Structure 1
Amino acid sequence: MNKHVIVLPLVALALAGGAFLYLAQGDTARLPAGADTGREPVFTAPRSEMLPTINIAKVKPWAANAKPVAARGLAVARFADGLSHPRSLLRLPNGDVLVAETNSPPRPKDGIVNRVMAYLMNEAGAGAPSPNRIILLRDADGDGRAETKATFLTGLHSPYGMALVGDTLYVANTDALMAFPYKEGDTRITAKGRRIIAIPAQAPNYHWTRSLVASPEGLLYVGVGSNSNIGENGLEMDKGRALILEVNPRTGYRRIFASGLRNPVGLAFEPKSGALWGVVNERDMLGSDLVPDYLTRVEFGAFYGWPWNYWGGYEDRRVQPQRPEIREYTKRPDYALGNHVAPLGLAFADKVQLGAPYTDGAFVGLHGSWNRKPAAGYKVVYVGFADGEAGKAKPVDVLTGFLDKDGAAQGRPVDVTADAKGALLVSDDLGGVIWRVTKAK
Structure 2
Amino acid sequence: MKRLPLIALVLALSSCGGDPEISQYGSQPDLPKPQRGLIPTMTIASPAGWGDRRPAVPEGYQVTPIATDLKIPRQTLVLPNGDILVAEGKGGGDAPILRPKDLIAGYFKRKGTSSVKGGNRLTLLRDANGDGTYEGRTVFAENLNAPYGLALVGNRLFVANQDSLVRFDYRPGQTRASGPPVLVTRLPGEINHHWTKSLAASPDGRFLFVGIGSNSNIGERGMSVEEERAMVWQIDAETGAHRRFATGIRNPTALAVQPGSGQLFAVVNERDELGPNLVPDYLTSVRAGAFYGWPYAYWGPNPDRRVQPFKAEMVNQAVRPDYSLQSHTAPLGLAFSNAAMGARFADGVFIGMHGSWNREQPVGYKVIFVPFRGGRPAGPPVDVVTGMQADGKTFGRPVGVTVDPRGALIVADDLSNTVWRVTPVQAPARVASAR
**8 A contact 1:27–1:288 mirrored in 2:** no
**8 A contact 1:122–1:128 mirrored in 2:** no
2:359 is aligned, of 372, 376, 387, to: 372
Cα gap change, 1:174/1:17 in structure 2, threshold over 3 Å: closer, same or farther?
Answer: closer
Residue of structure 1 equivalent to 2:404 = 419
2:316 is aligned, of 288, 306, 328, to: 328
Residue of structure 2 equivalent to 1:278 = 266
d(CA) in 1 for partners of 2:269 and 2:295? 12
Q: Unpaired segments of 5 or more residues in structure 1?
A: 1-12
1:305 to 2:293 alignment: yes
Residue of structure 1 equivalent to 2:432 = none
Cα gap change, 1:22/1:180 in structure 2, threshold over 3 Å: closer, same or farther?
Answer: closer
Specify the SS of the correspondent of 1:293.
strand
1:357 to 2:344 alignment: yes
Structure exhibiting the larger radius of gyration computed from Cα positions? 1
2:152 is aligned, of 155, 164, 184, to: 164
1:87 to 2:58 alignment: no
1:178 to 2:166 alignment: yes
Residue of structure 1 equivalent to 2:32 = 44
2:326 is aligned, of 338, 350, 362, to: 338
1:315 to 2:308 alignment: no
Q: Deviation of residue 115 (structure 1)?
A: 4.3
Residue of structure 2 equivalent to 1:397 = 383
Superposition map of 1:36-435 within 5 A: 36-63=24-51, 65-107=52-94, 112=100, 115-116=103-104, 118-203=106-191, 205-218=192-205, 219-350=207-338, 353-391=340-378, 393-404=379-390, 406-435=391-420
Cα gap change, 1:432/1:30 in structure 2, threshold over 3 Å: closer, same or farther?
Answer: closer
d(CA) in 1 for partners of 2:16 and 2:213? 25
Say which is worse superposed, 165-174 or 320-329, in terms of deviation: 320-329
Cα displacement string for residues 62-95 of structure 1 (whole angstroms, at most 9, x for unaligned residues): 10x3210001222211222221211101111111
Amino acid at match of 2:366: K
d(CA) in 1 for partners of 2:8 and 2:89? 39
Amino acid at match of 1:245: W
**8 A contact 1:268–1:348 mirrored in 2:** yes
Q: Deviation of residue 110 (structure 1)?
A: 6.4
**8 A contact 1:79–1:145 mirrored in 2:** yes
d(CA) in 2 for partners of 1:22 and 1:381? 30
Q: Deviation of residue 20 (structure 1)?
A: 5.6
Say which is worse superposed, 306-315 or 77-86, in terms of deviation: 77-86
Q: Deviation of residue 101 (structure 1)?
A: 1.1
Q: Deviation of residue 53 (structure 1)?
A: 1.5
Q: Deviation of residue 38 (structure 1)?
A: 1.1
d(CA) in 2 for partners of 1:184 and 1:37? 41
Cα gap change, 1:78/1:303 in structure 2, threshold over 3 Å: closer, same or farther?
Answer: same
Cα gap change, 1:247/1:29 in structure 2, threshold over 3 Å: closer, same or farther?
Answer: farther
How many residues align? The count is 421
Q: Which runs of 4+ in 1 moved over 6 A?
A: 16-19
Residue of structure 2 equivalent to 1:25 = 14
Residue of structure 2 equivalent to 1:4 = none
Amino acid at match of 1:58: S
d(CA) in 1 for partners of 2:182 and 2:263? 29
Amino acid at match of 1:416: V
Q: CA RMSD in A?
A: 2.1
Amino acid at match of 1:32: E
d(CA) in 2 for partners of 1:55 and 1:285? 13
Cα gap change, 1:417/1:335 in structure 2, threshold over 3 Å: closer, same or farther?
Answer: same
Amino acid at match of 2:40: P
Specify the SS of the correspondent of 2:315.
helix
d(CA) in 1 for partners of 2:77 and 2:389? 26
Amino acid at match of 1:74: Y
d(CA) in 1 for partners of 2:92 and 2:116? 10
Residue of structure 2 equivalent to 1:7 = none
Residue of structure 2 equivalent to 1:10 = none
Q: TM-score, normalised by structure 1?
A: 0.91
Q: Percent identity?
A: 45
Q: TM-score, normalised by structure 2?
A: 0.92
**8 A contact 2:93–2:193 mirrored in 1:** no
Cα gap change, 1:71/1:19 in structure 2, threshold over 3 Å: closer, same or farther?
Answer: closer
**8 A contact 1:23–1:50 mirrored in 2:** no
Q: Deviation of residue 145 (structure 1)?
A: 1.7
**8 A contact 2:398–2:412 mirrored in 1:** yes
Q: Unpaired segments of 5 or more residues in structure 2?
A: 427-435
**8 A contact 2:123–2:139 mirrored in 1:** yes
Residue of structure 2 equivalent to 1:5 = none
**8 A contact 2:121–2:147 mirrored in 1:** yes
Q: Deviation of residue 181 (structure 1)?
A: 1.3
**8 A contact 2:203–2:257 mirrored in 1:** no
d(CA) in 1 for partners of 2:360 and 2:76? 30
**8 A contact 1:74–1:354 mirrored in 2:** no
Q: Deviation of residue 420 (structure 1)?
A: 4.7
Amino acid at match of 1:408: K
Cα gap change, 1:121/1:288 in structure 2, threshold over 3 Å: closer, same or farther?
Answer: closer
Q: Deviation of residue 286 (structure 1)?
A: 0.2
Q: Deviation of residue 106 (structure 1)?
A: 4.4
d(CA) in 1 for partners of 2:85 and 2:8? 49
**8 A contact 1:242–1:264 mirrored in 2:** yes
